[in-house]
Amino acid sequence: MPGMMGESEMKNLDSATGSGFDRMFLTMMIEHHTGAIEVAKTEQADGQNPDVLELAKKIEADQTADPSVTQVVTIGGIDQDDLLRLVAGVERASEHPLGLAIVNAATDAGLPIPDVTDFDASVGKGPLGTVEERRVGVGSAGYLTSEGLYPNALRTHADQLRADRATVLFAGVDDQVAGIIAIADPVKGTPRPP
Protein backbone atom coordinates (compact mmCIF):
# COMPACT_ATOMS: atom_id res chain seq x y z
CA MET A 1 0.00 0.00 0.00
CA PRO A 2 1.40 3.42 -0.93
CA GLY A 3 2.57 5.58 1.92
CA MET A 4 3.21 2.67 4.28
CA MET A 5 6.33 2.92 6.38
CA GLY A 6 9.03 0.30 6.15
CA GLU A 7 10.34 -1.72 9.08
CA SER A 8 13.35 0.56 9.65
CA GLU A 9 11.13 3.66 9.80
CA MET A 10 8.84 1.85 12.29
CA LYS A 11 11.81 0.95 14.52
CA ASN A 12 13.09 4.54 14.38
CA LEU A 13 9.62 5.80 15.19
CA ASP A 14 9.41 3.39 18.15
CA SER A 15 12.64 4.72 19.61
CA ALA A 16 11.69 8.35 18.92
CA THR A 17 8.20 8.19 20.38
CA GLY A 18 8.79 5.62 23.08
CA SER A 19 5.14 4.66 23.10
CA GLY A 20 3.13 2.24 21.01
CA PHE A 21 0.12 4.58 21.06
CA ASP A 22 2.21 7.60 20.02
CA ARG A 23 3.78 5.52 17.27
CA MET A 24 0.43 4.32 15.97
CA PHE A 25 -1.08 7.82 16.08
CA LEU A 26 1.87 9.47 14.34
CA THR A 27 2.04 6.66 11.77
CA MET A 28 -1.62 7.12 10.85
CA MET A 29 -1.19 10.87 10.57
CA ILE A 30 1.86 10.55 8.34
CA GLU A 31 0.25 7.93 6.11
CA HIS A 32 -2.83 10.08 5.65
CA HIS A 33 -0.98 13.43 5.49
CA THR A 34 -3.07 14.89 8.29
CA GLY A 35 -0.76 17.19 10.19
CA ALA A 36 1.94 14.88 11.50
CA ILE A 37 4.52 17.68 11.34
CA GLU A 38 2.31 20.00 13.41
CA VAL A 39 1.74 17.32 16.08
CA ALA A 40 5.47 16.53 16.14
CA LYS A 41 6.29 20.24 16.64
CA THR A 42 3.91 20.39 19.59
CA GLU A 43 5.42 17.25 21.11
CA GLN A 44 8.91 18.71 20.68
CA ALA A 45 7.92 22.12 22.11
CA ASP A 46 6.44 20.40 25.16
CA GLY A 47 9.78 18.66 25.73
CA GLN A 48 8.30 15.29 24.80
CA ASN A 49 9.84 13.11 22.11
CA PRO A 50 12.56 15.52 20.91
CA ASP A 51 13.54 13.35 17.90
CA VAL A 52 10.04 12.83 16.55
CA LEU A 53 9.96 16.04 14.47
CA GLU A 54 12.95 15.11 12.31
CA LEU A 55 11.61 11.59 11.87
CA ALA A 56 8.15 12.87 10.89
CA LYS A 57 9.70 15.27 8.35
CA LYS A 58 11.81 12.48 6.85
CA ILE A 59 8.92 10.05 6.52
CA GLU A 60 6.56 12.69 5.16
CA ALA A 61 9.16 13.83 2.60
CA ASP A 62 9.67 10.23 1.48
CA GLN A 63 5.94 9.85 0.97
CA THR A 64 5.46 13.04 -1.02
CA ALA A 65 8.24 12.56 -3.57
CA ASP A 66 7.55 13.85 -7.06
CA PRO A 67 6.53 11.38 -9.77
CA SER A 68 9.39 10.37 -12.08
CA VAL A 69 9.73 8.51 -15.37
CA THR A 70 11.10 5.01 -14.84
CA GLN A 71 10.86 3.52 -18.32
CA VAL A 72 10.12 4.43 -21.95
CA VAL A 73 9.11 1.58 -24.27
CA THR A 74 8.68 2.22 -27.99
CA ILE A 75 7.25 0.36 -30.96
CA GLY A 76 6.91 1.18 -34.62
CA GLY A 77 10.45 2.40 -35.17
CA ILE A 78 10.42 5.55 -33.04
CA ASP A 79 13.48 6.17 -30.87
CA GLN A 80 13.00 6.39 -27.07
CA ASP A 81 14.51 9.88 -26.92
CA ASP A 82 12.29 11.07 -29.76
CA LEU A 83 9.18 9.72 -28.08
CA LEU A 84 10.14 11.25 -24.75
CA ARG A 85 10.81 14.67 -26.23
CA LEU A 86 7.67 14.70 -28.42
CA VAL A 87 5.49 13.68 -25.48
CA ALA A 88 7.26 16.25 -23.29
CA GLY A 89 6.34 18.90 -25.85
CA VAL A 90 2.65 18.08 -25.41
CA GLU A 91 2.86 17.52 -21.66
CA ARG A 92 4.63 20.84 -21.06
CA ALA A 93 1.35 22.54 -21.97
CA SER A 94 -0.62 20.40 -19.51
CA GLU A 95 -0.77 21.07 -15.79
CA HIS A 96 -0.76 17.44 -14.70
CA PRO A 97 1.98 16.26 -12.28
CA LEU A 98 2.62 13.19 -14.44
CA GLY A 99 3.17 15.50 -17.40
CA LEU A 100 5.70 17.43 -15.35
CA ALA A 101 7.53 14.16 -14.64
CA ILE A 102 7.84 13.58 -18.39
CA VAL A 103 9.06 17.13 -19.00
CA ASN A 104 11.60 16.73 -16.19
CA ALA A 105 12.84 13.41 -17.61
CA ALA A 106 13.38 14.97 -21.04
CA THR A 107 15.14 17.97 -19.52
CA ASP A 108 17.34 15.75 -17.32
CA ALA A 109 18.30 13.73 -20.41
CA GLY A 110 19.37 16.94 -22.16
CA LEU A 111 16.67 16.62 -24.82
CA PRO A 112 15.32 19.77 -26.45
CA ILE A 113 11.60 20.06 -25.78
CA PRO A 114 9.72 21.30 -28.84
CA ASP A 115 6.74 23.66 -28.74
CA VAL A 116 3.19 22.39 -29.13
CA THR A 117 0.38 23.85 -31.22
CA ASP A 118 -3.29 22.87 -31.45
CA PHE A 119 -3.12 21.74 -27.83
CA ASP A 120 -6.18 20.15 -26.24
CA ALA A 121 -6.50 18.37 -22.91
CA SER A 122 -9.86 16.73 -22.40
CA VAL A 123 -10.71 15.89 -18.81
CA GLY A 124 -10.21 12.19 -18.14
CA LYS A 125 -8.49 11.53 -21.46
CA GLY A 126 -5.13 13.19 -21.86
CA PRO A 127 -3.32 15.86 -23.81
CA LEU A 128 -3.24 16.01 -27.59
CA GLY A 129 -1.30 18.44 -29.76
CA THR A 130 0.92 19.01 -32.76
CA VAL A 131 4.66 18.89 -32.14
CA GLU A 132 7.11 19.37 -35.02
CA GLU A 133 4.20 18.85 -37.44
CA ARG A 134 3.38 15.49 -35.82
CA ARG A 135 0.13 14.78 -33.99
CA VAL A 136 0.95 13.49 -30.47
CA GLY A 137 -1.56 12.09 -27.99
CA VAL A 138 -0.88 10.81 -24.47
CA GLY A 139 -3.17 8.99 -22.06
CA SER A 140 -4.79 5.68 -21.28
CA ALA A 141 -5.13 2.76 -23.69
CA GLY A 142 -8.82 3.60 -23.88
CA TYR A 143 -8.02 7.16 -24.89
CA LEU A 144 -5.77 6.02 -27.74
CA THR A 145 -8.42 3.52 -28.83
CA SER A 146 -11.00 6.35 -28.92
CA GLU A 147 -8.59 8.18 -31.25
CA GLY A 148 -8.48 5.14 -33.59
CA LEU A 149 -5.18 3.72 -32.29
CA TYR A 150 -5.07 0.19 -30.88
CA PRO A 151 -2.26 -0.38 -28.34
CA ASN A 152 -2.84 -4.14 -27.92
CA ALA A 153 0.84 -4.94 -28.57
CA LEU A 154 1.80 -2.96 -25.45
CA ARG A 155 -0.90 -4.11 -23.03
CA THR A 156 1.06 -7.03 -21.53
CA HIS A 157 4.11 -4.84 -20.94
CA ALA A 158 1.89 -2.11 -19.47
CA ASP A 159 0.27 -4.63 -17.11
CA GLN A 160 3.71 -5.73 -15.91
CA LEU A 161 4.70 -2.13 -15.21
CA ARG A 162 1.44 -1.53 -13.34
CA ALA A 163 2.11 -4.65 -11.26
CA ASP A 164 5.33 -2.87 -10.22
CA ARG A 165 3.12 0.06 -9.11
CA ALA A 166 3.92 2.35 -12.03
CA THR A 167 1.49 4.66 -13.76
CA VAL A 168 1.52 3.83 -17.46
CA LEU A 169 0.77 6.38 -20.16
CA PHE A 170 0.26 5.30 -23.76
CA ALA A 171 1.53 7.57 -26.54
CA GLY A 172 0.47 7.88 -30.14
CA VAL A 173 2.38 9.77 -32.81
CA ASP A 174 0.60 10.64 -36.04
CA ASP A 175 -1.69 7.70 -36.70
CA GLN A 176 0.31 5.01 -34.90
CA VAL A 177 0.82 3.76 -31.38
CA ALA A 178 4.35 4.84 -30.51
CA GLY A 179 4.96 3.49 -27.01
CA ILE A 180 4.36 3.70 -23.30
CA ILE A 181 5.94 5.75 -20.55
CA ALA A 182 6.06 4.37 -17.00
CA ILE A 183 6.03 6.79 -14.10
CA ALA A 184 6.67 6.07 -10.44
CA ASP A 185 3.97 7.99 -8.63
CA PRO A 186 4.63 7.78 -4.88
CA VAL A 187 1.92 10.24 -3.91
CA LYS A 188 -1.08 8.65 -5.59
CA GLY A 189 0.22 5.13 -5.98
CA THR A 190 -2.48 4.49 -8.57
CA PRO A 191 -2.33 4.87 -12.33
CA ARG A 192 -4.55 6.84 -14.65
CA PRO A 193 -7.32 4.49 -15.83
CA PRO A 194 -6.11 1.67 -18.14
Q: Is the dihedral of CA 160, 166, 172, 178 positive or negative?
A: negative
Buried b (16+ CB within 10 A) or exposed e, 3-39: bebeeebeebbeebbeeeebbeebbebbbeeeebbeb
d(CA 57, CA 40) in angstroms, rounded, equals 9
Residue 51 known to be catalytic: no
Helix (H, G, I), strand (E, B) or coil at 44: helix
Torsion of CA 95, 88, 105, 155, to 10 degrees: 100
Catalytically annotated residue among 62, 66, 108, 174: 62
> Do the beta carbons of residue 11 and residue 59 sit within 8 Å?
no
Q: Give catalytic residue positions.
A: 62
